[in-house]
Chains A and B, each alone.
Chain A
Amino acid sequence: AQKVTQAQTEISVVEKEDVTLDCVYETRDTTYYLFWYKQPPSGELVFLIRRNSFDEQNEISGRYSWNFQKSTSSFNFTITASQVVDSAVYFCALLEAGTALIFGKGTTLSVSS
């Protein structure tokens, strides 16, 4: 059965610190997709990235970077030089064909100035 584990419930950092959010997943499928979403206090989910199981290249987008390692079933997310606006709940999610997104429990990131 598919499963997503975000072991870090809450993380607090000071502005300009780098922070990594961990995500470990379980699946029996060879084709699947992994996602990261940001949920600010407003509640609306903000899509950050989608990665398919055949593409293990790391990705960088501005201050955000993602490290996908199939060998450890992990898809970690790093924010470099964090800012107060990064404060939110971050969800990692897994999608297999024919199913709905399965979400991890989320990591609440608090960035203080």
Chain B
Amino acid sequence: GAVVSQHPSWVICKSGTSVKIECRSLDFQATTMFWYRQFPKQSLMLMATSNEGSKATYEQGVEKDKFLINHASLTLSTLTVTSAHPEDSSFYICSAGGDRAFYEQYFGPGTRLTVT
């Protein structure tokens, strides 16, 4: 299967600072990228969907001004958590989809964010 990387794998930041998480598709062109959030012992919840060159579509309840998503190229999407607070501490996972088939989606390894 295709390879999707995320950077960093884990990050600790102080409350009030911003953190950027990168999601890269290494061997295919990702026309669509999805960002999920997973709190401890819970399932993955979709935060937003982004298509290359377009504004992201956010799920209900996700603050678009707090979670900035940029999908400027077919291999890179970034999620920036602005003014992070302890309640933003979570596991963030991206998945990338190519333009071959909608069912081909590949997950990154995830980024564990801890806000102190």
- Most A C-beta atoms less than 10 A away, residue of B1, B93, B107: B107
- B43 partner residues in chain A, CB cutoff 8 A: 91, 103-106
Quick check: B109 and A44 within 8 Å, CB to CB?
Answer: yes
Which chain A residues (58-113) contact chain B, with CB distance < 8 Å?
91, 95, 97-98, 100-106
The B contact surface, by secondary structure, is: strand
Say whether B44 contacts A91, CB under 8 Å: yes
When distances are taken between beta carbons in the complex, the residues of chain B under 8 Å from A106 are 42-43
Interface Cβ pair total, 8 Å cutoff: 45
| A93 to B, closest residue via Cβ | B44
Is the Cβ of A47 less than 8 Å from the Cβ of B1?
Answer: yes
- Please, how many angstroms separate the alpha-carbon atoms of A100 and B47 in the complex? 10
B110 contact set on A, CB distance < 8 A? 43-45
Q: Which residue of the partner chain A has the closest CB to B109?
A: A44
- Bound together, the chains give a CA A62 to CA B62 distance in angstroms of 41
A-chain residues with CB within 8 Å of residue B103 when the two chains form the complex: 33, 50, 52, 95
Within 8 A of A (CB), among B58-116: 91, 93, 95, 102-103, 105, 107, 109-110, 112
Cα distance A37–B109 in the bound complex, in angstroms: 13
Q: How far is the CA of A43 from the CA of B6 in the complex (A)?
A: 13
Whether the pair A100, B49 counts as a contact (CB closer than 8 A) is yes
Contact check, B102 vs A100: say whether CB atoms are below 8 A apart. Answer: no
CB closest chain-A residue, reference B33 = A100
Chain B interface (Cβ < 8 Å from any Cβ of A)? 1, 34, 38, 42-46, 49, 91, 93, 95, 102-103, 105, 107, 109-110, 112
